[in-house]
Structure 1
Amino acid sequence: MEFIAGAEDWLARRNWAAWFLAFTASAFVLALRAPDSLVHPQFWAEDGSVFFADQLHHGAPRLFLPYAGYLLLIPRTVAWIASAFSAFYAPAIYSYSALLIGAASIASLREMRLGLGGFAFLLAPFALTPTNGEVFGTLTNVQWFTQFYEIVVVSRFIDGRPPASTWRAGAATIFAGLTGPFCVFASAAAAIGWLWIWRVEQRGASSPWSRLRSPAAYGVGILMLCSFLQLWVMRNGAEDTHATFAQWIGGVDTMFAALQSHFFGHRLMPDSVFLALVTIVVAACLIWIPSAGGDRATLACILVFVLAGFLAAGIKAHNPALIWTEIVFGDRYFFAAKIFIWWCVAAALALIWRRGSGIRLATLTLLLGASVVYANASLQRMPMQNKNWGQFARQIDNGEAVTVPINPNWQMSLPARKPPSFEQ
């Protein structure tokens, strides 16, 4: 009995070591893509003008203050924690928090089974896809990484695998679900996945309700509760991006027309050819990828998740003033789509080469590398300008009113701290 207990303890330590290795590799990739965010941390856009400014001079956390039409719990929480320290450290706290949260979100993907061959196949697109870098190194855009943790929650539900720690997974799901609108898309993906397993995979062999009673379903339940809350906030928010149906259709068409530019860095072939190739690769994976272990159902759920977010972005993409067709703008809206397509390429390679995981990974890396080289795109985000934050931080700590320049050519006006009032 002692031997068995010792073996189980060793396996538990090994699993923790595997997760830590995945986390370290993910953090290394994110650090390489935005090294200036760690060496010379700077505020980026809403980091300063919204999250820092809204929390300044407020002792109580402003966790549930909406912005852009939805809740952003993670940035608000980091802003509240950072408010306990000198303003001088705020950009560093924001940047390092973004790195750690992003790395943890990517590392959680190792729980998924997509028939690819290992975590390296999931990590490679994060390291080598061409991008303007706007999602890397900023707390404002950390939600574009936490969306992948929500995919993991759905994957657990599809596979019927409970998380290692229910309370930690539940807390992480709440924070991810209340940061951005992605919980809405994840809930839709979970519903489609449940129907997929019931109708296609299991062929009615077991009760469809048994999956809803599994421990893994609690995470999806949390996501759905977060979805109701986010939808309520969106409905009652001040987001000014409403579009008519015709405008939305035009925006969706713009999104699909721009996908190749964001995928390769610029147009390599006619858009119709590119979309046809993508459709063939995705369809082949959905048809021939092994159904054992939930691989096929998980892939279908991720497709629903990505398409839902892609179609929702069409509401903004109808604006002709926004240059969606160029990678220099709006690349964050294509982030998940690019990652998903490369996962499908990896799955297609696995279908072609049943053996030789190393050869498949080398081929995927070469394809990714060729894409970046041909696009002439940098793997690193352009360094931010030094805005002399330390000079203004002293004034902020002294309670003075100040107007501060921040990246990218923004500025924020911060009020003076009100002196405490004493009643006679």
Structure 2
Amino acid sequence: MRGQATEPFRRKMLFLPRPLKIAAVCAALMLILFSRRPEMFLHPEFWAEDGWIFFVQADTQGADALLTPYGGYHHFLLRIIAAAAAGLDARWIPVAYISANLLTVANLQWLSALGLVWLLVARDPLNKRQYATDGLLAGVIGLTGIFSILLTPLFVWRAWRRKTQPSMFLASVVAITAAIQIWTLLCSADDSSSGAWPPLEAIACLVGYRLPASLFFPMSFAVQLSRAALDGLGVLFVGLLIAAAAWKGRGQNIRGLLVAVIILLIAATIFRSRSHLWAFGSLADGDRYFFLPKLLTAWLLISGWSVPGLFRGAATATCGLGLLASAVDWHYEPLADHNWPEYARRIEAGEALSHIPVNPKGRSFDHPGRHRKEPLQMRSDNT
């Protein structure tokens, strides 16, 4: 009787207009974010590079900032958002950044990279509109971060396997953006990745700590695990990834691509940070580097629900652990309120300001004041 009573409601939900469904999903996401980080909505502040890179350079460089590299590569989508928000009163720019990209511009490159993964596993477009949309997404996201460099081999493999014009076109677009990012990296003086590779044991410990431990256990429990336990979790995690890719069942091609993306992202993170892996010791910091591997791991587990037998039970139980861990650590430590509206008022009045505080704690930036043309003197401790 209960199922019969809810059937009309289910049918209505199924046939809701697509824009309304999207709006409902976005509203739900915002409610979840608000419940976890209410201070980001109640008193928005800049986060790290949001202030001293994207906000300041959009103000001082204008359109030139769109093609200005940071960290040795382009952040095109982030620059577009900063340019679009530059016309607002400075007080509302942090609000615009939150509304446009779910909390911070600085972290958007990791979120937008999910678009490349989606294109990697998606079917070929069925019409010209989808064709153009895929190409536009690949072009913009490919010039946002270094993910196009990492994923180009997978797009080329995808095109070779499918042998279709759309797949070859998409691989070409991603490869072109990767070439641009590689050229920019080679021309950049920035090199924060010097140093020898860490030992395999340290890599296993990092993988175990930042992926299975932080994904499936509460933070208070994960930080107390011994190094040997973390080593074991890291080895087990990689082994299960390889097994998932090798399993000849339904969806093996997609599973293989997702596993390849996870491994490439982990390897790139270790390579980039190999001289300071100690920075990942706090689970409260640096999680953006593991956002995509965690999300794709969750995708793989959810896909396991369609497999009958013991594997379905194991996948369901593991997902339950992840949900329980998230519930235990639902609330983050509140970020500081630096009274940005007061600094914004002074910036709008044309006052040159130094040491404007931003989150995380201890960071600050300078602004020459709006409606002025003096060159900006960047603080050396923010680079």
Q: TM-score, normalised by structure 2?
A: 0.79
Q: CA deviation at 1:235?
A: 1.2
Structure 2 counterpart of 1:172: 137
Match among 317, 336, 346 for residue 395 of structure 1: 346
For 1:141, the equivalent position in structure 2 comes to 107
Runs of at least 5 residues in structure 2 that lack an aligned partner in the other structure: 1-13, 375-383
Deviations 1:3-59 (A, max 9, x none): xxxxxxxx9985555555554544444444433222321111100011111122444
1:225-259 deviations in Å (ceiling 9; x for gaps): 11111111111113221324545978745633533
Quick check: 1:313 aligned with 2:234? Answer: no
Q: Aligned partner of 1:143: which letter? A: Q
Alpha-carbon deviation of 1:154?
0.9
The residue aligned with 2:8 is none
Q: Which residues in structure 2 correspond to 1:53-92 (within 5 Å)?
A: 53-92=56-95
Check if 1:271 corresponds to 2:230: yes
1:144-165 CA distances to partner (integer Å, 9 max, x unpaired)? Answer: 1111111011112xx4344763
**1:341 paired to 2:297:** yes
1:298 is aligned to 254
Indicate the SS of the match to 2:338.
coil
Match of 1:47 in 2: 50
| Distance in 1, Cα, partners of 2:204 & 2:367 | 41
Q: How does 1:356-367 map to 2 (within 5 A)?
A: 363=317, 365-367=319-321
Which of residues 348, 359, 367 in structure 2 aligns to 1:414?
367
Is 1:154 matched up with 2:106?
no
- String of CA shifts for 1:175-196, please: whole Å, max 9, x gaps: 211111111122122234456x
1:37 corresponding residue in structure 2: 40
AA of the residue aligned to 1:237: S
Change (3 A) 1:70 1:16: same
- Give the 3 Å change call, closer, same or farther, for CA 362–302 of structure 1 in structure 2: closer
Contact 1:262–1:334, Cα closer than 8 Å, also in 2: no
Query: In 1, distance between residues paired with 2:187 and 2:200?
Result: 24
| Counterpart residue identity of residue 142, structure 1 | L
- How far apart in 1 are the matches of 2:340 and 2:23? 34
Deviates most, 359-368 or 56-65:
359-368
Q: Quote the residue 1:370 is aligned against.
A: 324
Q: Could you tell me whether the CA contact under 8 Å between 2:197 and 2:274 is conserved in 1?
A: no
Q: Match of 2:193, SS?
A: coil
Q: What is the DSSP-based 3-state SS (H/G/I as helix, E as strand, rest coil) of the residue aligned with 2:66?
A: coil
**What do residues 204-236 of structure 1 show as CA deviations (whole Å, max 9, x unaligned)?**
xxxx6x23x1x2443332222111111111111
* Contact 1:174/1:226 (8 A) holds in 2: yes
> Given that residues 45 and 359 in structure 2 are in contact (C-alpha distance below 8 angstroms), is that contact kept between their aligned partners in structure 1?
yes
Distance in 2 separating the partners of 1:28 and 1:394: 29
| Secondary structure in structure 1 of the residue aligned to 2:114 | helix
1:352 to 308, 314, 321: 308
Secondary structure of the equivalent of 1:187? helix
Kindly indicate whether the alpha-carbon contact (under 8 Å) linking 1:400 and 1:416 is maintained by their aligned counterparts in 2.
yes
In the alignment, structure 1 residue 323 sits paired with structure 2 residue 279: yes
Amino acid at match of 1:160: D
Instruction: Summarize the Cα distance change of 1:29–1:186 in structure 2 as closer, same or farther, 3 Å threshold.
Output: farther
Q: Which runs of 5+ in 1 are unaligned?
A: 1-10, 100-136, 199-207
8 Å contact kept, 1:189–1:302: no
The aligned runs of 1:175-190 (5 Å cut-off) are 175-190=140-155
Deviations 1:118-143 (A, max 9, x none): xxxxxxxxxxxxxxxxxxx1111011
Amino acid at match of 1:413: D
**Percentage identity across aligned positions?**
21
Higher relative contact order, structure no. (Cα contacts within 8 Å, ≥ 6 residues apart): 1
Name the amino acid aligned to 2:117: I
Distance in 1 (CA, whole Å) between partners of 2:80 and 2:276 is 35
Contact 1:66 1:72 in 2 (8 A): yes
Check conservation: 2:242, 2:259, Cα contact below 8 A: no
Give 1:273 shift: 3.1
Alpha-carbon separation, structure 1, partners of 2:192 and 2:343? 34
Letter in 1 for 2:241: V
**In the TM superposition, what are the counterparts of 1:188-207 in structure 2 within 5 Å?**
188-194=153-159, 198=161
CA 1:13/1:232 → structure 2, altered by over 3 Å: closer, same or farther? Answer: farther
What RMSD in Å do the two structures reach over aligned CA positions? 3.4
- Structure 1 residues 36 and 165 mapped into 2: Cα distance closer, same or farther (>3 Å)? farther
- Partners of 1:62 and 1:76 within 8 A in 2: yes
Shift of 1:297: 1.3
Contact 2:143 2:177 in 1 (8 A): yes
Contact 2:348 / 2:369 at 8 angstroms: preserved in 1?
no
Write the letter of the residue equivalent to 1:236. Answer: C
Deviates more, 1:378-387 or 1:318-327: 318-327
Q: 1 CA distance for matches of 2:299 and 2:270?
A: 23
Residues 107-118 of structure 1: pairs in structure 2 closer than 5 A: none
Q: Is the 8 A contact 1:254 1:324 kept in 2?
A: no
